[in-house]
Amino acid sequence: MKRRELFVGTTGNTCVQGTRTCGTADLIPNVALRTHDDVPVRFYDNLVKGKQVIINMMYANCEGLCPAVTSRLVEVHRALAHRMGRDLFMYSITLKPNEDSPAGLRAFADMHGALLPGWTFLTGDAFDIETLRFALFRHNHIKFDLDPNFHAGQLRIINDATNHWVDVTPLASKATVLQHISWANPPKSFEQRMQDNRDLQDEIDREVAKYGYRKVI
Amino acid sequence: MQTKMFLSALALLTCLHAPALLGAESCEAEASWKASDAERHFVVLAGRTNVFYERSGPTYVMLIRGAGDNVDLGAFGIYADANGHPAFGAVPASEYETFLSEPAARAQAKSSAVMLRLEVSGPQYERVLRVLRTWERRVAERALLYPDFALDNILLVKQTTEELNRCRQALVPYELDWGLDDSISEHNIALRIPFEYFKELKVRNAARHVSDAAMPAQLRMATLTAQRNPQASK
């Protein structure tokens, strides 16, 4: 009788608690993906490194949440059109990579008026998409994390240059989504911050003069 | 305000009936599968306690396949490394061989060891093997899903039992999902959850457990350990 080991246990394929070798070594996995134009890209190197990005997960035949989310993102894109593709980028990653080809994603984007500058739809290997989904959207809660639909209802905003991570539901108002995006904006220059302070002080002075106190805090 | 929005989003999401994202695998192979004495498949859910500092211990899924003169053996999950620390990966033979036969009655009575051995069909075995292979790849590529691999191990055992039940109810399930009715997740630390999960499954599926006496002779512990270490049988 011949005995065969199904798994080979070596130092290389074991994770020991308390070490940095236990997976999720990269905060943002550098997985290989394909854009809606069928261009191969590396997620971190080509799309995120040094940039401010807005990421959501969707799939083309999703009839519940995804169209509403995409519609909200179109509004957000419109509001930030002056920045999109310059210092702000939007990525929509499919939750169903086995069903959503680059051409299918392109058709979805076209149908929702989302073929816009700085907005890329992405697909790839199911294993890599799962890795990415957990890295970007996990709640460390088995019930939520195992429901990909739950992750379809989130927006992750990352400014890689400043290491700012912000999370917001795209079902919130457009103003709320825009506010959350602004929290990850690049830091302002000293002059700009001083100007902002002067503008704010002027506003306070006007309110105090008018009402005797500051009305809006 | 943000919490409110988060909860409304959650409520909306739970109301949506989007199709299952994980594609339903064809169950035709399982339906047409014929059991045969020439090829037997077993899935073993095994765990021990009082090994690590907070009294949890190794918990893993073991696969056994006997076909003619060949035996395939392997286990994947959490075990104690050479320093006694929890490690996640391919379980060394010296560890999983302790579960090639049923734990001593005393250990079972003290609840310090649990083992549920199920005989499964070829397609079920292949599906569980695929789950374990995916985790093997995740470990090799440093692509685990959680920073704490105790959570990854919970996913592993959950996926294993769900794969067993994909086409028919092969075992009476327990809903391990951190939901309101999941008391195991509510009352245990992550490292301990798979052990308690296996214990609960053992209770619910006692009739399905394959005892040592019911195991084929060539798959019994003495034979298998002797094959790994020929000196031991001398």
Do the Cβ atoms of A36 and A106 come closer than 8 Å? yes
Residue B36 pairs in a beta bridge with B39
What phi and psi, each to the nearest 5 degrees, are found at residue A58? -155, 180
Percent of chain A, pLDDT > 90? Answer: 69
What phi and psi, each to the nearest 5 degrees, are found at residue A32? -85, 130
What kind and span of H or E run contains A88? strand A88-94
Subunit contact B18:A9, Cβ cutoff 8 A: no
Contact list in B for residue A153 (CB cut-off 8 A) is: 9-10, 12-13
Residue type, A151: H
Question: DSSP string covering B27-45, please?
Answer: -HHHHT---BTTEEEEEEE
Closest CA to A85 of A53, A61, A125: A53
Give the pLDDT confidence score for residue A13 in this predicted structure. Answer: 62
Q: Which fold has domain A26-186?
A: Glutaredoxin (3.40.30)
What phi and psi, each to the nearest 5 degrees, are found at residue B30? -70, -40
Give the pLDDT confidence score for residue B8 in this predicted structure. Answer: 45
Do the Cβ atoms of B43 and B124 come closer than 8 Å? yes
Residue type, B120: V
What's chain B's Rg over C-alpha atoms? 19
Of A53-62, A90-99, B25-34, which gets the smallest average pLDDT?
Answer: B25-34
Distance from CA of A166 to the nearest CA of B (A): 12
Instruction: Name the burial class of residue B94, with classes exposed (0-12), middle (13-18) and buried (19+) by CB atoms within 10 angstroms of its CB.
Output: exposed
A121 touches B at CB < 8 Å: no
**pTM above threshold 0.90:** no
Residue type, A53: V
Q: Enumerate the domain spans of chain B.
A: 35-226
Q: How far apart are the first and last CA of chain B?
A: 72
Residues 60-89 in A contacting B (C-alpha not used; CB under 8 Å): 61-65
Q: Enumerate the domain spans of chain A.
A: 26-186, 187-217
Q: How do residues A165-201 score in pLDDT, each as one tens digit?
A: 999 999 899 999 999 999 999 999 999 999 999 999 9
Query: In order along chain B (234 residues), what is the average pLDDT of each group of 10 residues?
Result: 46 39 61 85 94 90 91 94 90 90 74 91 94 93 89 95 91 90 92 94 94 86 69 48
Give the pLDDT confidence score for residue B45 in this predicted structure. Answer: 97
B233 touches A at CB < 8 Å: no
Q: How far apart are CA B200 and CA B195, in angstroms?
A: 9
Q: Among A14-23, A149-158, B115-124, name the most confident range.
A: B115-124
3-class state of residue B232 by DSSP: helix
Contact list in A for residue B20 (CB cut-off 8 A) is: none
List the single best residue of A14, A127, A138 to mutate versus B (max B Cβ within 10 A): A14
- Counting every residue written for chain A, the total comes to 217
